[in-house]
Amino acid sequence: MSSTVVNGKTCEIERPEASLLAFLRSELGLTGVKAGCGEGACGACTVLVDGQPVLACQLRAGQVADRAVTTIEGLADAGSEPLHPVQRALIAERASQCGYCTPGIALRASALLAEHPDPGDEQIAAALDPCLCRCGCQQRIVHAVHRAAALARGDDHADDPPGAGPPARTVLGRPARPWDMCGPEERDWFGVLGDGLVTVWPPSAPGTWPRSGGAWLHVAASGTVTAFTGKVDVGQDNTTALRLLVAEELAVDPAEVRLVQGDTDLCPYDQGTFGSRSMPDAGQALRRAAAGAREVLAGRAPLAGTRRVEVLAAEPPLTSPSRWTTAGRPYPAPRADAVTGTRCFVSDLRRPGLRHGAVLRPPVPGAVLRTVDTRAAEAMPGVIVVRDGELVGVTAPDPGTARRAVAAIGADWDQPGSGPADLPAYLRAHPVDGEGWQRAVDSRAGDPEAALAAAPTAVQATYTTAYLAHVPLETRAAVAEWEDGRLTVWTGTNVPFAVRARLSQELGIGEAAIRVIVPPVGGGFGGKHGDEAIEAARLARGAGRPVMVHWSRAEEFQWGYLRPMAVIDVCAGLDAAGSITAWDFLDINAGASGFDFPYAVPNRRLRYQPAASPHAQGPYRALAATANTFARESHIDALAYAAGTDPLRFRLRHLDDERLADVLRAAAGRFGWQPSWRPAGRPVWQDGQWVWRGAGLAIGLEKGGRVATCAEVVVDGTGQVRVRRIVTGYECGAIVNPDTVTSQIEGGMVMALGGALFESVEFSHGRIARPSLSGYRVPRFTDVPELDVVLLDRPDLPSAGAGETPLIAVAPAVANAIFAATGRRLRSLPLLPEGRIR
- Site residues (CB under 6 A) for ligand FES? 35-38, 40-45, 55, 57, 96-101, 133-135, 137, 235, 473, 523
DSSP letter string, 214-265: -EEEEEETTS-EEEEES---SSS-HHHHHHHHHHHHHT--GGGEEEE-SBTT
Confirm if 631 and 609 have CB atoms less than 8 A apart: no
The minimum distance between CB 135 and ligand FES, in angstroms, equals 3
Edge-to-edge strand order for the sheet containing 689-702? 684-686, 689-702, 705-716, 721-731, 786-792
Going by C-alpha positions, the residue among 56, 18, 64 that lies closest to residue 40 is: 56
Torsion of CA 181, 184, 185, 191, to 10 degrees: 90
Q: Least CB distance from residue 216 to ligand FES, whole Å?
A: 30
Least Cβ distance, residue 137 to ligand FES (angstroms): 5
Least distance to ligand FES, CB of residue 676, Å: 39
Report the run of H or E that residue 507 belongs to, with start and end: helix 496-507
Shortest Å, Cβ 235 to ligand FES: 6
In the complex with ligand FES, the residue whose CB is nearer, 40 or 798, is 40
Tell me which DSSP letter residue 269 carries.
P
Closer residue to ligand FES, CB minimum distance, 137 or 536? 137
On whether the CB atoms of residues 77 and 134 are closer than 8 A, the answer is no
Q: C-alpha angle with apex 66: 60 to 72, nearest 5 degrees?
A: 70
- Dihedral angle computed from the Cα positions of residues 286, 287, 290 and 291, in that order, rounded to the nearest 10 degrees: -150
**Shortest distance in whole angstroms from residue 811 CB to ligand FES:** 21
Nearer to ligand FES, 452 or 750 (CB): 750
d(CA 270, CA 283): 13
Instruction: Using the minimum distance from each CB to ligand FES, give the nearer residue, 24 or 57.
Output: 57
What is the SS3 assignment for 7? coil
| Shortest spacing between CB 348 and ligand FES, in angstroms | 14
133 or 789: whose CB is closer to ligand FES? Answer: 133
How near is the Cβ of 46 to ligand FES at its closest, in Å?
A: 7
What is the enclosing helix (H) or strand (E) of 444?
strand 441-445
CA distance 191 to 186: 12
Select 147 or 343, whichever has its Cβ closest to ligand FES.
343
Angle, CA 750 vertex, CA 744 and CA 755 arms, to 5°: 120
Determine contact, residues 362/495, Cβ cutoff 8 Å. no
Q: Which is nearer to ligand FES, 130 or 733 (CB)?
A: 130
Nearer to ligand FES, 57 or 478 (CB): 57
Task: Return the number of other C-beta atoms located less than 10 Å from residue 364's C-beta.
Answer: 17
Nearer to ligand FES, 135 or 601 (CB): 135
Asked if 325 and 248 count as a contact pair (C-beta separation under 8 A), the reply is: yes
The answer to whether 57 touches 21, Cβ cutoff 8 Å, is yes
- How many angstroms from the chain centroid is the CA of residue 374? 38
Beta sheet of 486-491, edge-to-edge order: 384-388, 391-396, 355-359, 547-550, 477-483, 486-491, 514-517
CB 105, min distance to ligand FES, A = 7
Beta strands in 321-362 (DSSP E): 355-359
Q: How far is the CB of 57 from ligand FES (least distance, A)?
A: 3
Least CB distance to ligand FES at residue 41 (A): 6
Alpha carbons 771 and 765: distance in angstroms, whole number: 13
If the CB atoms of residues 100 and 269 are measured against ligand FES, the closer one turns out to be 100
Smallest gap from Cβ 21 to ligand FES, in A, equals 6
- Structural contact between residues 547 and 539, judged by C-beta atoms closer than 8 angstroms: yes
Omega before 795 within 30 of 0, i.e. cis: no
Question: 3-state DSSP: the chain helix, strand, coil percent, rounded to 5?
Answer: 30, 25, 45
Residues 446, 605: contact at Cβ < 8 Å? no
Minimum CB separation of residue 37 from ligand FES in Å reads 3
Q: Quick count: other Cβ atoms within 10 Å of Cβ 734?
A: 20
> How far apart are the C-alpha atoms of 358 and 392, rounded to whole Å?
9
Closer to ligand FES by Cβ: residue 21 or 76? 21
Q: Measured from the CB atom, is 45 or 721 closer to ligand FES?
A: 45
Question: CA end-to-end span of the chain, whole Å?
Answer: 57
The nearer residue to ligand FES, 103 or 801, going by C-beta atoms, is: 103
> Rounded to whole angstroms, how far apart are CA atoms 515 and 533?
11
In the complex, the smallest distance separating the C-beta of residue 586 from ligand FES, rounded to whole angstroms, is 36
Q: Cβ contacts of residue 298 below 8 Å, gap of 6+?
A: none
Q: Which is nearer to ligand FES, 44 or 735 (CB)?
A: 44
C-beta of 136: minimal distance to ligand FES in Å?
Answer: 8
Q: Which residues contact 341 (CB under 8 A, 6 or more apart)?
A: 30, 31, 32, 33, 71, 72, 73, 103
Closer residue to ligand FES in complex, CB, 38/801:
38
Q: Nearest distance from residue 685's CB to ligand FES, in Å?
A: 38
Q: What is the smallest separation between the CB atom of 358 and ligand FES, expressed in angstroms? A: 17
Kindly tell me which of 35 and 638 has the beta carbon lying closer to ligand FES. 35
Query: Which CB atom, from 131 or from 601, has the smaller least distance to ligand FES?
Result: 131
